Amino acid sequence: MNKIMGHVFLSKLGKKRLRPGGVKATNWLKKQTNLNNKNILEVGCNKGTTSFELARKYNSIITAVDKDLFALEQAKNSKKNKYKNLTFSPGNAFKLEFSNETFDVIFNEAMLTMLNQNSKITALKEYNRVLKDNGVLLNHDICLLTNDIQLQKQIIKEMSETINTSVEPKTVDEWLFLLESNGFGQIKYTCGKMTLLTPRGLIKDEGIVNTFKIIRNAFKKENKVQFKTMRNVFKKYKKHLGFIAIASFKQKI
Ligand SMILES: C[S@@+](CC[C@H](N)C(=O)[O-])C[C@H]1O[C@@H](n2cnc3c(N)ncnc32)[C@H](O)[C@@H]1O
C-alpha cells in the first residue's frame, strides 16, 4: 500500500479541492468580508485552486504560499496561472516571510487540522502578526461532531492512520476557543457534514467529468486500497465528522 499523505494522494488522483466542506464552505467564507481592493494571503494553497478563483474574481492582490514545493510547482505551471494579481511562493505558516500588518485577509483551508495544538497556536500567532488591525482570518477545517472523548480519540487515530499523517480536528467549541485564545474575535461560523469523498460532494467540487477521472484513477490497482480505506473511515464516522468554516477578526491585544 502507498504511504503518501491523504491530501497528496487525492491530489494525485486529480482532486483539486482538498478540504472537508468543499466549495460550499469556501463560498461561505468568501461572503464574510469584502474581498475587493484587499491584500489577501492564502496559506496552504496547494495547487492554487482557491488562489486562482480569488485572483479571477476580485480586484485584489493575492499572495499564495505553501510549504509543499511540488504542489507549488503544479500551481505555477498550471494553465490557470495567468493572473497578474497572483503570486505563488514557498512559505511556512510557522514563520511567514512578511512584515507585521501586511494583509487584510488570510485564507487557510484544511491546514490547521493537520497541526498539533502547539503548532496551531504558532500558526495563529503568525497570522495575527501579519494581519492588519481588524484583518480577517477565514479558515475551514475538520470538525468533530461528538463530545464523546473515547470516540474522538478513536476517530483521530483511524483518520491519522488512513491519511498517513497525524491530524487533530476539534469540536466546534474547541475551534472557537482556540481562535478566541489566540487574538481573534467577532467570530462567525458555519458547519455541516464532511463532503470530501461523498458522491455528491465530489460532483459539486470537481464537476462530473473530473469526478469520473478521479474515480477511474482511484480504482486503479495501485490506488484502490488507499482510496477504499480512506473512504471507509470517512463513511464509518460520517455522523461524527464535519467541516467548520470560520471568519474571525484580529483583535487588539
Ligand atoms: C489538506 S491540504 C489543503 C489544500 C488547499 N488549501 C485546499 O483546501 O484544497 C493542506 C495544505 O497545507 C499545506 N501545509 C501544511 N502545513 C503547512 C505549513 N506549516 N505551512 C504552509 N503550508 C502548509 C500542505 O502542504 C497542503 O498543501
* Residue 27 is assigned to a structural domain of this protein: yes
* Residue 30 is assigned to a structural domain of this protein: yes
* Residue 140 is assigned to a structural domain of this protein: yes
Does the CB atom of residue 109 touch ligand 1 within 6 A? yes
What is the residue-level pLDDT of the chain in tens, covering all 253 positions? 557 999 999 999 999 999 999 999 999 999 999 999 999 999 999 999 999 999 999 999 999 999 999 999 999 999 999 999 999 999 999 999 999 999 999 999 999 999 999 999 999 999 999 999 999 999 999 999 999 999 999 999 999 999 999 999 999 999 999 999 999 999 999 999 999 999 999 999 999 999 999 999 999 999 999 999 999 999 999 999 999 999 999 997 6
Within 13 Å, how many C-alpha atoms sit on residue 196's CB side? Answer: 27
- Asked whether 195 and 21 are in contact (CB, 8 A), the reply is yes
**Domain limits for position 204:** 6-248
* Residue 21 is assigned to a structural domain of this protein: yes
Return the pLDDT at 3: 79
- pTM for this one? 0.96
- Asked whether 103 and 150 are in contact (CB, 8 A), the reply is no
Does the CB atom of residue 66 touch ligand 1 within 6 A? yes
Return the pLDDT at 2: 52
Report the DSSP pairing between strands 61-66 and 170-171. Answer: unpaired
Q: Is 185 helix (H, G, I), strand (E, B) or coil?
A: strand
- Asked whether 63 and 41 are in contact (CB, 8 A), the reply is yes
The dihedral sign for the CA sequence 151, 156, 159, 164: negative
Cα 74 to middle of ligand 1, angstroms: 14
Cα 7 to middle of ligand 1, angstroms: 9
* Residue 69 is assigned to a structural domain of this protein: yes
Rounded distance between C-alpha atoms, residue 105 and residue 136, angstroms = 5
Cα 116 to middle of ligand 1, angstroms: 14
* Residue 1 is assigned to a structural domain of this protein: no
- What is the total count of domains within the chain? 1
* Residue 139 is assigned to a structural domain of this protein: yes
Supply the angle between the helices 199-218 and 221-236 in degrees, to the nearest 10.
160
CATH at residue 98: 3.40.50.150
Return the pLDDT at 252: 76
* Residue 253 is assigned to a structural domain of this protein: no
- Choice from 111, 126, 141 to test ligand 1 binding pocket (greatest atom count within 8 A of CB): 111
- Asked whether 243 and 194 are in contact (CB, 8 A), the reply is yes
Return the pLDDT at 253: 65
Reference 172, options 154, 191, 155, 198; nearest CA is: 191
Does the CB atom of residue 23 touch ligand 1 within 6 A? no
